[in-house]
Structure formats: structure tokens, C-alpha cells
A = this chain, B = another copy of it.
Amino acid sequence: MKQYVVGVDVGGTNIKLGVVGPSGLVLVRNSFATKPFASSRIKLISALAHEIEASIISAGLTKKQIVGVGIGLPGLVDYEKGVVRFLPNIPGWSNVHLKSILQNKIKLSVFVDNDVKIITLAESTFGAGRGVKNLICMTLGTGVGAGLILNGQLYRGEDNAAGELGHMPLNEHGPKCNCGGYGCFERYVGNRALLDLSSRVMGIPMTTEAIFALAKKGNKKALFFWKTAAEHIGNGLVGIVNLLNPRLIIIGGGVSHNEKFLFKTVTDTIRRRAMSLQGSAFKIKRAKFKDDAGIIGAYVLVTNAQR
């Protein structure tokens, strides 16, 4: 019986693969570095085909038991047409028909989507958002993005490009952003912005991990750093809370591990600034999945497509 999915999570640094079964259970995992293949699109696709087939074998399965392959990629992906439009951190990927190329190679159904949308499917189906009809799943990292579950469905937008939370302006006349806009949320809470903030607050640039360790020891500057970052995050979420009236905001990505110094201030900031009903209706939760989010979400992507 077909009931397994091969999930692939393509990142700028590593590519993770996993074979996932019912209830999102991960049977086998594997990962390899992106860099040796990043120079050539064809090499990368061949490596993907090889690793997908190898992972099926190492799970003790045959292709007859595989529903399909789900692939998450960090950039603009046309889910419906199966085309990778653009990947900002992996050169050479412009309008690549990944779905059809890979289907021809491996003779399995392939589905491609944006990585944040796939993580959102994982959290919504098996993770922090189970049973919630309206939620925002935000990832904080170098980039700041979000997946939206609205009326119980993943909302993709007109071109599968919805969810660019990091590029909602926080200040009309704020600093110019790479995206062409001004004062984007990401310019205040993305990793680069937090590194800048660390220089200003701590005196030298420091990783968020190091500042987290200092905050745990009660270091006042470190506590101030987290308070400032959390207030920016809260301020940036007020608009989406008033606009979308969600029940839940899931926060994932590296910084989210610092739950202790982040979530209360974020919540308080939103409650203070958002409209009263919307501001009291939402909760914040940490994402349940870390490394497996992409492959578990791929399982949901593929099995949803069978319905």
C-alpha cells in the first residue's frame, strides 16, 4: 500500500532527506552539503534523484510503497506548475521545471513548494498548530517569512508568493531593504539586524546564542538586547494580528529557542498595541519541529495533494 513520502528540504547549506510514514513518523533521515552541487543545477538534480532512491532503499521500502516526493526550496516556487522561479541563495535556479524533470528521472509523483509554506503544513497538521483554523507560522532567521493557515487551509496567494511577513514595513521612512522597500520588518528582526543591535547594545557584535547565555546569567545589557528585539517583533506583528485576527502565532527559527526572554515581551507588546478583541484572541507558541519540519511538511504536502 502506498503510504510513505520522501521529503526533501533544500537549504543554502544542507539538503535534508527523509522517508516519512503515517502520522508524520520519520523512518530514515539523511543529509548532504549543498555547496558541491550548487554550481550546477543539473548536478544538484541528479544528486537529488540518487539520494531519493537511496533513501527509499535504506528505509527498506520499494517505490510501489511511495505516494510521492515533496521538495521544499528556499525561494519563489510555483506549486501548481511545479516550477522553481528563483532561489536567492542558490545561483542558476531560474524557472526550473523541477517537478517534471525529476518525475521523468525517478518515476514518482513530485511536488515542489516554498520551504516556509511546507514548514507551516508540518506545524499545522502535526505540530504546534494542530486543530487551529487560523494561524501564522513565522520563521525568524536571516530571512523572516511566514506561512498562513486561513479558514483551515494553507493560503498561497495569487502567485504562491504570500507570506512575506519580513517585508511588511514597520516604518514608512525606515532603512532601505534589499527587496526594494523601506523599513521592512526583516530590517529590524532578521539575523543581520540582530547582529547590528548586538553591536550597539553589547559594544561588540555577538551571536544571539552568546547573548542568550549572558541573559540567563542576568547580564543587564543582554536582557536589554532581548527586550528590544522582542518589542520590535511584537510591533511588527500588531498589523497582522489586526488584519487577520488569528488564534495562534507560531514562532520558529534559531532565535525562537530563546523563548524565555522573547515570548512574554512579544505577547505583551502585541496585546498593548493591537485592537482589544484581536489582541486578546491570539496565543504565541514555539514551533514544535526543528530539523525535521521540512520533511514532515513534505509528507503533508504530498498526501494533501492526493485528496
List chain A positions with a Cβ less than 8 A from chain B.
Answer: 76, 85, 133-134, 146, 148, 150-151, 153, 155-165, 167-173, 179-182, 232, 235, 238-240, 242-247, 272-279, 281-282
Contacts and interface: CB of A to CB of B under 8 A. Distances in A.
Contact of A172 (B153, B159, B170): B170
Contacts of A179: 242, 275
Contact of A133 (B153, B158, B272): B158
Contacts of A163: 243
A23 to B, nearest CB: 27
B170 A243 contact: no
Given A151-B155, A155-B150, A235-B169, A277 B245 contact: no
A243 B165 contact: yes
B168 A239 contact: yes
Contact of A162 (B153, B168, B239, B243): B243
Nearest to A164: B242
A274 B243 contact: no
17 contacts: A150-B155, A151-B151, A151-B153, A157-B246, A157-B278, A158-B245, A165-B243, A167-B275, A168-B243, A169-B235, A169-B239, A170-B172, A171-B172, A179-B242, A181-B242, A181-B273, A243-B243
Contacts of A235: 169, 172
Given A133-B158, A181-B238, A164 B76 contact: no
A126 to B, nearest CB: 21
A170 B275 CA distance: 15
A150 B246 CA distance: 14
Contacts of A168: 168, 238-240, 242-243
Contacts of A162: 243-245
A276 B156 CA distance: 17
Contacts of A247: 158
Contacts of A275: 161, 164, 167, 179-181
Nearest to A135: B158
A13 to B, nearest CB: 24
A75 to B, nearest CB: 11
A275 B124 CA distance: 27
A162 to B, nearest CB: 4
A163 B148 CA distance: 15
Given A171-B171, A240-B243, 5 more contacts: A76-B277, A157-B245, A157-B278, A161-B281, A180-B279
A159 B245 contact: yes
A245 B76 CA distance: 12
A281 B168 CA distance: 17
A180 B276 contact: yes
Residue among A150, A160, A172 facing the most chain B CB atoms (10 A cut-off):
A172
Contact of A157 (B160, B167, B244, B273): B244
